[in-house]
């Protein structure tokens, strides 16, 4: 999904309120209209736009009334700093993702198992001791995951701030007035393995002639060096 389109859609307060309501339960147009305090016609227009980008979907109940619910699980991330403006939408990773392969991240989370499917016999208002235990386990896991989500958000904010601080220091080292912030990005791209002007330009989304000019300037100062069209850090 195009992050810019998604951000534009979510820029409308009523659409955000609709999604907040639908995150609690599926709703009919009349319910949404009463909640927002706007006409059903306006609600239908908002829902149409949310459907167009795939955020909501509609279904028809036994009485042929149409109700709406959120159709997908995604995360929208926006980074803004003196060095970066980036938007991206991310979908949940596969449940089979092995986080132990992450270089810097390790998680200590115990995951519950999927409950066994059971026939729908017996009183639906009562549960067995086993089912009650499974429900309690899932509730505890949910609480742990909510705590983990908060901790990861805090860690992400720390990383974002630290990146800005390091880029500030790097910019001051390679440029006295600190205005050519692109040089810090170029050096970071080289550290990440980019070698050619084209590679660096693609990595930092900058024209090749701009990258080449800054590389040449930093080469004169001994910050980077070039060998047969391949650039590297001098340190």
Here the tokens at position 76 are: 């929208």
Is the pLDDT score of 176 beyond 80?
A: no
Question: Is 119 part of any domain?
Answer: no
Burial of 210 (0-12, 13-18, 19+ CB in 10 A): middle
Instruction: Give residue 102's pLDDT.
Output: 84
Is the pLDDT score of 168 beyond 90?
A: no
The reply to whether 52 and 65 lie within a common domain is: yes
Instruction: Give residue 232's pLDDT.
Output: 96
pTM: 0.73
Residue 201 lies in domain: 175-233
Question: Is 96 part of any domain?
Answer: no
Domain CATH number, residue 53: 1.10.10.10
Q: Report yes or no: 51 and 57 within 8 Å, Cβ to Cβ.
A: yes
Is the pLDDT score of 177 beyond 90?
A: no
Radius of gyration from C-alpha coordinates of the chain: 26
Instruction: Give residue 35's pLDDT.
Output: 94
pLDDT tens-digit map of 105-121: 887 766 655 555 555 45
Instruction: Give residue 123's pLDDT.
Output: 55
Is the pLDDT score of 197 beyond 90?
A: yes
Q: Locate tokens 């227009």: which residue?
A: 45
**212-224: burial string, b at 16+ Cβ within 10 Å, e else:** eebbeebeeeebb
Question: Is 82 part of any domain?
Answer: no
């Amino acid at each position: 999904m195009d992050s810019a389109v998604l951000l534009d859609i979510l820029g409308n307060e009523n659409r955000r309120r609709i999604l907040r309501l639908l995150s609690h339960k599926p709703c009919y147009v009349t319910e949404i209209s009463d909640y927002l305090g706007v006409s059903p016609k306006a609600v239908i227009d908002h829902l149409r736009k949310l459907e167009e980008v795939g955020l909501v979907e509609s279904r028809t109940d036994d009485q042929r009334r149409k109700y709406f619910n959120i159709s997908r699980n995604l995360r929208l991330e926006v980074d803004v700093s003196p060095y970066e403006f980036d938007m991206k939408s991310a979908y949940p990773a596969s449940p089979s993702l092995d986080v132990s392969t992450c270089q810097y991240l390790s998680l200590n989370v115990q995951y519950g198992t999927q409950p066994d499917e059971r026939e729908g016999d017996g009183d639906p208002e009562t549960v067995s001791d086993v089912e009650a235990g499974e429900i309690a386990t899932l509730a505890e896991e949910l609480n742990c995951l909510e705590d983990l989500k908060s901790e990861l958000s805090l860690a992400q904010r720390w990383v974002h701030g630290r990146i800005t601080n390091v880029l500030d220091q790097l910019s001051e080292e390679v440029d006295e007035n600190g205005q050519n912030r692109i040089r810090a990005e170029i050096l970071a791209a080289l550290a990440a393995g980019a070698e050619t002007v084209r590679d660096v330009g693609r990595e930092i989304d900058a024209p090749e002639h701009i990258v080449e000019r800054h590389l040449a300037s930093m080469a004169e100062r001994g910050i980077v060096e070039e060998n047969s069209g391949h650039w590297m850090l001098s340190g």
